[in-house]
Amino acid sequence: MEDEMIINLFCERSEQAIRELSNKYGSLAQGVCENILRNSFDAEECVNDSLFTTWLAIPPRRPTSLKAYFVGIARNKAIDRFRYNTSARRDTFGDVAIDELEEYLQSYSSTEKECEAEELSLAIENFLGTLKKEDRTLFMCRYYYSTTVLDLANKMNKSEKYINLRLFRIREKLRKYLIKEELI
Amino acid sequence: MRRGVVSEAMDKMSDKYKLEALELLNQAEISEITNMKNGKSTRKIITVGLAASLTLALGVSVAAANGVFSMNVREADPSETITHIVQDYDEESDTIYEYEETVSDIENIITFEGPDSCYGIEFKLGYVPEVNIAPGGEFGDPYGWNSSFLQFETNNGGVNITVYYDPQFGENGCLFFNDSLYDIEESVMGEYDVYQFSDTYIVEFEDFDENPDHYDTYYTHYIIMHHPDGYIIVFSGSEDMDVLKQIAENLEIQHTDVVVETEDFSNHNFSVIRGLG
């Protein structure tokens, strides 16, 4: 079913909307959540929560891309859940991928400079526009969707070492870009 | 930067790149690459530009059992020095001799990581730029197969093509450059990591009184490393970058059964040769 039709079902308050959304993007969202949580049960709960959140949000909201919107909600719920789990030491398998980037940039950041998320968001988006599609995709998969390096290596038919190397170079380029923009 | 701000910033980004990334996450994994042959390589001839897809199609890769190689580029520390072995020609005795030289003022250093052995290659030009080869003026065969080095003259000067192997560099060896580099670009071409840049070499006229007493020569360098198989090919010369790129993209490669190992080499540092001479 087309996204537009699913959104219309939400607007009509038809519960079929949830089934269609779940059928179409449920497994994609589940994959993203599992990458973050490493736990299929927790991931499933996040996806179910996301279906409910979407139900509450549409209407009035009418997202341009239902796919990005729904997977984005699921991703945020998984990160919240991850941080809840790890802060209470309920689960300590490691950091979520975004922390890898955050800590890297943090170490170069001066205490005087405090940039806001909106400003940084725009800068990252502009920076991504300067990269090749492959590098952009790698960056987003790793730091937005928390895809593991092994998964990225398999999907791109490269070695893990290669993926790590590319991610390192992208982080370095981003760091230089943010310094140039005086954001860190 | 306050903690959480990067995550928040990523979340606030428009859908454009989020959707682009989801395309990859929707793709089925290519996992059959591990079904490669583990034994010695059978001969294969591939062009560089198509290497990635053909390697998959043929199902052979000499590095399947060895792991994967990688290239790292960094700026040299101002105080850094490198010792390497220089080969020179003695006209009187008509012999080639070697001496050790320690070099400072290094600009960039390229290092390589990977296993201690890989298989050798031979290469042949698939694209021959307009050449003006003086008889005996070239090293190697611009129209045939070459194993490690090819030098030929073109209408704009000349081109050097040198093959290196990751094991050749040992643990701490490198390729290094003494001149200021500019127009540096890094990219990926199939399974090749590409590093390209230009430099200006100042040629001094020590023996002449006339002015000017020096001139700048413009050189281009195009370096490719094949990640799975561990070989590196350096294209350098006074041709435009587009020409070097075209040579690289059309280069034919065939694997040999010769195993290249670190212990075969006593010298692990190499200064990149520019043009002819």
Mean pLDDT (chain B) is 73
Neighbours of A5 (CB within 10 A): 11
* Cα atoms found within 13 Å of the Cα of residue B91, Cβ hemisphere only: 0
Q: Do B20 and A162 touch (CB under 8 A)?
A: no
pLDDT-based confidence at residue B274 (cuts at 50, 70, 90): low
Over range A21-40, report the average pLDDT: 89
**DSSP summary character for residue A176:** H
pLDDT value, residue B14: 84
CB contact B9 to A (< 8 Å): yes
A136 lies within 8 A of chain B by CB: yes
Q: In chain B, whose CA is at the least distance from the CA of A184?
A: B1
Q: In this predicted structure, what is the pLDDT of residue B204?
A: 53
- What confidence tier does B232 reach under pLDDT thresholds 50, 70, 90? very high
pLDDT value of position B5: 81
Q: Which residues in chain B are closer than 8 Å to A109, comparing Cβ atoms?
A: 1
Closest Cβ opposite residue B21 in set A31, A124, A144: A144
Taking 90 as the threshold, does the pLDDT of residue A21 lie above it?
yes
Minimal CA separation from B258 to chain A, in Å: 24
Residues 6+ apart with CB under 8 A from B233: B123, B161, B162, B163, B164, B223, B224, B225, B248, B251
User: Given its phi and psi angles, is residue B40 left (phi above 0), alpha (psi -120 to 50 degrees) or beta?
Assistant: beta
**Residue B191 pLDDT > 60, yes or no?**
yes
Residue A108 confidence (pLDDT) above 70: no
pTM, 2 dp: 0.47
- Interval B36-73: pLDDT, tens: 223 233 333 444 443 333 333 222 233 333 445 677 88
Tens digit of each residue's pLDDT (9 = 90 or more) over B87-138: 776 767 777 777 888 888 888 888 888 777 788 899 999 988 877 665 555 5
Chain B residues closer than 8 Å to A106 by CB: 1, 3
Confidence of residue A95 (pLDDT cuts 50, 70, 90): low
Q: Check A136 against B1: CB less than 8 A apart.
A: no
Chain B contact for A79, CB < 8 A? yes
Mean pLDDT on B14-26 = 84
pLDDT of residue B217: 65
B1 contact residues in A (CB cutoff 8 A): 102, 105-106, 109, 113-115, 120, 184
Q: Do the beta carbons of residue A146 and residue A43 sit within 8 Å?
A: no
Measured between CA atoms, the residue of chain A closest to residue B55 is A157
Nearest-Cα distance to chain B for A123, in Å, is 9
For residue B226, count other CB atoms closer than 10 A to its CB: 28
Please give, rounded to a whole number of angstroms, the shortest distance from the CA of B186 to a CA of chain A. Answer: 10
**CB contacts, 8 Å: B18 with chain A:** 65, 68, 71-72, 140, 144
Residue B225 pLDDT > 50? yes
Of A82-91, A101-110, B146-155, B200-209, least confident by mean pLDDT is B200-209
Q: Is the C-alpha dihedral spanning B260, B67, B44, B129 positive or negative? A: negative
Contact A157 B52 (CB under 8 A): yes
Q: A43: which DSSP letter? A: H
pLDDT higher than threshold 80 for residue A27: yes
The distance from CA B52 to its chain's CA centroid, rounded to whole angstroms, is 17
Whether A179 has its CB under 8 Å from any CB of chain B: the answer is: no
pLDDT tens for residues A52-65? 889 989 888 899 89
A79, HSE (Cβ side, Cα atoms, 13 Å): 21
How confident is the prediction for chain A on average, in pLDDT?
A: 83
Buried b (16+ CB within 10 A) or exposed e, B61-89: bbbbebebbbbebeebeeeeebebeeeee
Provide the pLDDT confidence category of residue A126 given band limits of 50, 70 and 90.
Answer: very high
Q: A11 CB near a chain B CB, below 8 Å?
A: no
Of the partner residues B10, B29, B187, the one whose CB lies closest to the CB of residue A124: B10
% residues pLDDT > 90 (chain B): 9
Q: What is the DSSP letter of B32?
A: G
CB–CB contacts below 8 A, A to B: 127
- Give me the residue from B13, B68, B70 closest to A121, CB to CB: B13
- For every residue of A139-155, DSSP letters joined together read HHHHHTS---HHHHHHH
Tell me: pLDDT of A148 over 80.
yes
CB contact under 8 A, B17 and A136: yes
Closest CA–CA distance from residue B126 to any residue of chain A (Å): 26
Nearest-CB residue to A140 (from B4, B7, B21): B21
- Please give, rounded to a whole number of angstroms, the shortest distance from the CA of A127 to a CA of chain B: 11
Beta strands (DSSP E) in chain B are 45-47, 70-75, 82-90, 95-103, 108-113, 117-124, 149-154, 157-165, 174-177, 181-189, 192-204, 214-226, 231-237, 252-261, 269-271
Interval B213-228 mean pLDDT: 75
pLDDT band at A47 (very low <50, low <70, confident <90, very high): very high
Cβ-Cβ contacts under 8 Å, B75 against chain A: none
H or E stretch covering A45: helix A40-57
What's the angle, vertex CA B145, arms to CA B139 and CA B147, rounded to 5?
A: 70
> Alpha-carbon distance B228 to B248, whole Å?
17
The 10s digit of each residue's pLDDT in B149-177 is: 888 887 777 888 999 998 888 888 898 88
Three-state DSSP class for residue A3: helix
Choice among A53-62, A105-114, B232-241 with the minimum mean pLDDT: A105-114
Q: Is B19 on the interface with A (CB under 8 A)?
A: yes
- Reading phi first (left if > 0) and then psi (alpha if -120 to 50, else beta), residue B197 is in beta
B227/A159 CB distance under 8 A: yes
Q: How would you classify the pairing of strands B108-113 and B157-165?
A: unpaired
